[in-house]
Amino acid sequence: MSNIFIGNREYFPGIGQIKFEGGSSDNPLAFKCYEAERMVGAKTMRDHLRFAVSYWHNFCGDGSDIFGPGTRIHPWSEKSNSLDAAEDKLDAAFEFFTKLDVPFYCFHDVDLAPDGTTVAQGESYLSHMVELAKVRQAATGVQLLWGTANVFSNPRYMNGASTNPNFDVVAHAGAQVKRSLDATAALGGKNYVFWGGREGYACLFNTNTQRELDHMGRFLSMARDYGRSIGFEGAFLIEPKPMEPMYHQYDVDAQTVIGFLRRYGLENDFKLNIEANHATLSGHSFAHELQMAADAGFLGSIDANRGNAQNGWDTDQFPTDLHDTVQAMLVVLANGGLRSGGLNFDAKLRRESTSLEDMFVAHIGGMDCFARGLLAANSILEKSSLSRDKKDRYSSFDQGPGAVFEAGGLSLTDLRDHAEIIGEPEQVSGRQESIENMINDHLFRT
């Protein structure tokens, strides 16, 4: 991958190609663990982790929050014409992707291009930007992990997008998803994401939940059919989230979404995009959500960040917790990888982090954190007895009446008769503490 900046201006002067310098380096602008070409098992780190930079928090978000305006001034947001500014933002974004050497990026329609004041204008802005993005993708080798539509920020979506009680709003959501699918397909996107945004409700007294869920099922089927009709072959991904902005969101967690997808006949085309901070907000752990998705064959991609244990909203911080990443990578490796998915940073700088260098430092830290998690998980699977112990724990189902039970050959009366014959079962330790200690040992060995 080249070390050049794209366009006429360098947006991150003084920052060159980020390189691997190893664990003893003190350079904040170098990888300590992530070494793209290093083999881990049968694949390189690059191919295991499939990192993607997200457009919105980095190139659009300026640090504003509900209590105050932005704290960062982006040199790519100076032009008053919004389309000119979008072109500068594209150059800045591709400079960032190449300097960081990530293989992928991802965006919402309105991150890439201005929304426009009519449907047709929005479409023409987006296709203009798609043509420019195509050229930059070809020049740098950076590919699109996923595209999505922002059908939650515009005030018209205050009561939801596909679940809005007003059909006219549903139609606008359709227009935005259509243009976003067109853009994703044109850019060779590997996946297309639906985060439910405001698909939920604030007040049950005025909400017909059954109709709203039926509408969402119908809408997603239409999007699937349209995507396939224009040649989009990637996976459609739903990103579960339990709350915020709506107090109740329909896509609460992985198991809820899997049930929904099966109910509406979407299980062959849709998978899940599991976000770390959404998992913890739903009262689960990140690894639990990944495991539920993997067990059901629905693990599509990972939206990586972390929350803050002291509060109850989506803080979208860059991942730094090694335990989280080891556990996540154990599930991913056991799943045989992420296939067409990847690992995107839906993480943003803290409002107080105001220098452009912080963007690099944050991503480097997140990438190293997952690289360390990958190495530890791989070492645990290759060198410890974890997989064998887990399998042995269920060995009573591998032969005899346990195996007949699994195959569906026993009745409740058979269980009763077996219980009477064997008497009180032998007590077997779960050995949780010993496994937890072993995981720490592997973490500090890699």
Binding residues for ligand XLS, rule: CB under 6 A, are: 108, 148, 195, 239, 241, 275, 303, 314, 346
**CB nearer to ligand XLS: pick between 302 and 375:** 302
| Least gap, CB of 247 to ligand XLS (angstroms) | 15
If one asks whether residue 303 binds Ni ion (CB under 5 A), the answer comes out as yes
**CB nearer to Ni ion: pick between 17 and 320:** 320
The per-residue b/e assignment along 227-238, b for 16 or more CB within 10 angstroms, e otherwise, is beeeebebbbbb
The per-residue b/e assignment along 82-94, b for 16 or more CB within 10 angstroms, e otherwise, is eeebbbbbbbbbb
DSSP 148: E
Active site residues: 108, 111
Integer Cα distance of 36 and 44 in angstroms: 7
| Least gap, CB of 346 to ligand XLS (angstroms) | 5
Token representation of residue 52? 């993607």
Residue 148 near which of ligand XLS, Ni ion, none (CB within 5-8 Å, type-dependent) = ligand XLS
Of all residues in this chain, which one has the CB nearest to Ni ion in the complex? 346
Token representation of residue 211? 């109709």
If one asks whether residue 269 binds Ni ion (CB under 5 A), the answer comes out as no
| Least gap, CB of 341 to ligand XLS (angstroms) | 13
DSSP secondary structure letters along 312-371: SS---BPP--HHHHHHHHHHHHHTT--TT--EEE-----TT--SHHHHHHHHHHHHHHHH
| Beta carbons of 180 and 378 less than 8 angstroms apart | no
Of all residues in this chain, which one has the CB nearest to ligand XLS in the complex? 195
Integer Cα distance of 219 and 222 in angstroms: 5
Residue 324 near which of Ni ion, ligand XLS, none (CB within 5-8 Å, type-dependent) = none
The residue within the footprint of Ni ion, chosen from 314, 330, 345, 364 (CB under 5 A), is 314
The residue within the footprint of Ni ion, chosen from 275, 289, 324, 368 (CB under 5 A), is 275
| Least gap, CB of 45 to ligand XLS (angstroms) | 24
| Beta carbons of 45 and 332 less than 8 angstroms apart | no
Residue 14 three-state SS: coil
The residue within the footprint of Ni ion, chosen from 88, 251, 346, 368 (CB under 5 A), is 346
Residue 123 near which of Ni ion, ligand XLS, none (CB within 5-8 Å, type-dependent) = none
What are 144's strand-pairing partners?
105
**CB nearer to Ni ion: pick between 269 and 275:** 275
| Least gap, CB of 200 to ligand XLS (angstroms) | 12
Q: Residues in the site for Ni ion, rule: CB under 5 A?
A: 275, 303, 314, 346
